[in-house]
Amino acid sequence: MIEFRGVNKWFGALHVLKDITLSVEPREVVVVCGPSGSGKSTLIRCINGLETIKDGDLVVDGQRLGDRATNMTELRTEIGFVFQAFNLYPHKTALENVTLAPIHVRKIPRGEAEASGREMLAKVGLGDKFNAYPSELSGGQQQRVAIARCLCMRPKIMLFDEPTSALDPEMISEVLDVMVGVAEEGMTMMVVTHEMGFARKVAQRVVFMDAGAVVETGTPDEFFSDPKTDRSRAFLSKILRH
Amino acid sequence: MLENFSFRTIVEYLPLFGQGFAATLWLSIVSFAGALAVGIILCAMNLQRSRLLQLPAKIYIDAIRATPLLAQLYFLYFGLPRLGLVLPELVVGILALALNSGAYIAEIIRAGILSISRGQVEAGIASGMTYAQRMRLVILPQAIRVTIPPLLGQAIVLVKDSALLSLISVAELTRAGQLLASDRFMPAEGFITTAACYLVLYYGLKSLAAFSARWLGVRPIGSRT
């Protein structure tokens, strides 16, 4: 579904992705973790073209990024992206947020889009917030609207960029619960997160990145209980200390 | 002091001020519409990545902002005929106001668009919207809300700047004051009446802005009315 082959990327002189080779199978859930600045966000932002790669191959849903034949705008409709800062449209209600792209990009009739929008908001536990503006919602609620906004496009792939890092602790689990639900329905997911509980529960694989390179991959159990490299051990000891 | 102030003369000249008021009003409206068009085009050019489009817009905006409106007006009025282009005073006046205000409006709109966070743009991109869709559905509706107050400010400046057209003998409000002043040697009566008329226009514009804000559904983003 997603395949990186020898992908490199630079920000100016900074080598942010170093020879990444990695693939994600359909219905697989992969958690990406690593210290800040290790390139994990950049990695998943490349998949929907929010960042471009310098060399190597990146094939998403059978289409090679950067090819003339690949229509990025079209490909992006198949890829949901959940941001750390939610990025809901502040001038739109929750329901308008989740129906905007289905109506204008997918060209779904308004009535139909609104019906499935209501259904999706109810599914993420916001059945009573259709007409609320983002500023009237808590962080956790906003992030759940953002997830519903992606799901309404019926994507094949969902990418999450630190979806719970901007949340107050008591709101993290409500968002993770929704993500677990999405994973259990068989969505192909790549999730940048340090939430080990989530990784253990639904991830088939954990990818550990440091300084722009993939240092270690393994099942959540292998990785969290028996990390293979010094760098992953050092990282885990920091996030597990408290 | 007030025994010398002739209200009668003002009343006598009211029809003239009425005409001046109407002239200032409609030429300001036409100029502002032109300025909006100029501003939108300049701003669109300025936001492009291509230097070829960006540079002319930047030079134009700088040139207008760096020079007095009076010099621009005189260039169009006295300069253009020498170069072979003769236009009626009124056209020259409207052109000068539109070209001048357009440069300021371009910067106002640009600031409005740039005030929208990068995350909004990315959310649009990630959901598969084209550039035009992002502008129409995500960026502009938010930018308009922050742009209305400074645009109103610019409209008020334009109305006041239109007084300069009296210098190329366009029959507008300030010209009416000048006529009263020179016909009857009553500059106090003439210009106080002119000023009062501008004040009326000012309050008209202010209430128009409040009305359009409500009509566009402008509220502090996210709060409910």
Is B190 part of a structural domain of the chain?
A: yes
Query: Taking 70 as the threshold, does the pLDDT of residue B219 lie above it?
Result: no
CB contact under 8 A, B137 and A90: no
Q: Give me the count of residues in chain B.
A: 225
Average pLDDT of the segment spanning A11-21: 92
Query: Taking 50 as the threshold, does the pLDDT of residue B220 lie above it?
Result: no
Contacts of B127 in chain A (CB under 8 A): 76-77, 81, 100-101, 105, 149-150, 153
State the Cα–Cα distance between residues B126 and B211, nearest whole angstrom. Answer: 36
Is B67 part of a structural domain of the chain?
A: yes
Is B165 part of a structural domain of the chain?
A: yes
Three-class DSSP labels, A153-221: CCCCEEEEECCCCCCCHHHHHHHHHHHHHHHHCCCEEEEECCCHHHHHHHCCEEEEEECCEEEEEECHH
The CB-based long-range contact list for A115-118 (8 Å cut-off, 24+ gap) reads: A116/A152, A117/A148, A117/A152
State the Cα–Cα distance between residues B73 and B165, nearest whole angstrom. Answer: 8
pLDDT of residue B96: 96
**CB-based contact A97:A134 (threshold 8 Å):** yes
Residue of chain A with shortest Cα separation from B133: A104
Residue of chain A with shortest Cα separation from B136: A104
pLDDT of residue B3: 76
Contacts of A63 in chain B (CB under 8 A): none
Average pLDDT of the segment spanning B71-78: 95
Going by pLDDT thresholds of 50, 70 and 90, the confidence category of residue B6 is confident
CB contact under 8 A, B142 and A90: yes
If you search the block for the tokens 């129906």, which residue do you land on?
Answer: A99
* Interface test with chain A among B116, B121, B127, by most A beta carbons within 10 Å: B127
Instruction: Name the minimum distance, in Å, from the CA of A62 to any CA of chain B.
Output: 18
Number of domains, chain B:
1
**CB-based contact A142:A133 (threshold 8 Å):** no
Query: Taking 50 as the threshold, does the pLDDT of residue B223 lie above it?
Result: no
Is B225 part of a structural domain of the chain?
A: no
Q: How far is CA B203 from CA B32, B98, B163, in A?
A: 17, 22, 17
Going by pLDDT thresholds of 50, 70 and 90, the confidence category of residue B218 is low
Is B221 part of a structural domain of the chain?
A: no
Instruction: Name the minimum distance, in Å, from the CA of A40 to any CA of chain B.
Output: 17
Residue B62: phi and psi, rounded to 5, are -65, -45
- Residue B18 belongs to a domain with what CATH number? 1.10.3720.10
If you search the block for the tokens 């990406």, which residue do you land on?
Answer: A32
Is B18 part of a structural domain of the chain?
A: yes
* Average pLDDT over all residues of chain B: 90
Q: How far is CA A214 from CA A21, A53, A191, A204, in A?
A: 8, 16, 15, 16
Is B198 part of a structural domain of the chain?
A: yes
- What is the pTM (predicted TM-score) of this model? 0.81
**CB-based contact A206:A161 (threshold 8 Å):** no
Query: Taking 90 as the threshold, does the pLDDT of residue B209 lie above it?
Result: no
CB contact under 8 A, B133 and A134: no
CB contact under 8 A, A76 and B126: yes
* Average pLDDT over all residues of chain A: 93
- Among A71-75, A137-141, B42-46, B211-215, the minimum mean pLDDT is found in B211-215
pLDDT digits (tens, 9 = 90+) for A171-214: 999 999 999 999 999 999 999 998 989 999 999 999 999 999 99
pLDDT digits (tens, 9 = 90+) for A99-110: 999 999 999 999
pLDDT of residue B217: 61
> Does A76 lie at the interface with B, CB-CB under 8 angstroms?
yes
pLDDT of residue B225: 37
Domain that holds residue B181: 2-216
Report which residue type is found at A236. L
Structure tokens at A172: 């993290």
Is B223 part of a structural domain of the chain?
A: no
Residue of chain B with shortest Cα separation from A133: B222
For chain A, what percent of residues have pLDDT higher than 90?
88
State the Cα–Cα distance between residues A56 and A90, nearest whole angstrom. Answer: 38
Average pLDDT of the segment spanning B36-55: 93
**CB-based contact B5:B188 (threshold 8 Å):** yes
CA angle B42–B44–B45, rounded 5-degree value: 65
pLDDT digits (tens, 9 = 90+) for B142-199: 998 888 888 999 999 999 999 999 999 899 999 999 999 999 898 999 999 999 999 9
Q: Of residues A241 and A79, which shows the higher confidence score?
A: A79
Q: How far is CA A115 from CA A48, A79, A104, B107, B139, in A?
A: 27, 21, 16, 42, 26
Contacts of A191 (CB under 8 A, 6+ apart): A29, A30, A31, A32, A159, A160, A163, A179, A198, A203
pLDDT digits (tens, 9 = 90+) for A231-242: 999 999 888 765
Q: Torsion angle, CA of B62/B68/B71/B72, rounded to 10 degrees?
A: 50
pLDDT of residue A207: 95
Going by pLDDT thresholds of 50, 70 and 90, the confidence category of residue B1 is low
pLDDT digits (tens, 9 = 90+) for B127-138: 999 999 999 999
Q: Is A63 helix (H, G, I), strand (E, B) or coil?
A: strand
Contacts of A149 in chain B (CB under 8 A): 127
Instruction: Name the minimum distance, in Å, from the CA of B55 to any CA of chain A.
Output: 25
**CB-based contact B157:B167 (threshold 8 Å):** no
State the Cα–Cα distance between residues B26 and B201, nearest whole angstrom. Answer: 11
Please state whether beta strands A14-24 and A2-11 pair in parallel, antiparallel, or not at all (unpaired): antiparallel
Contacts of A74 in chain B (CB under 8 A): 128
If you search the block for the tokens 């960026």, which residue do you land on?
Answer: B139
pLDDT of residue B149: 84
Contacts of A76 in chain B (CB under 8 A): 125-128
Contacts of A73 in chain B (CB under 8 A): 128-130
pLDDT of residue A241: 63
CB contact under 8 A, B138 and A89: yes
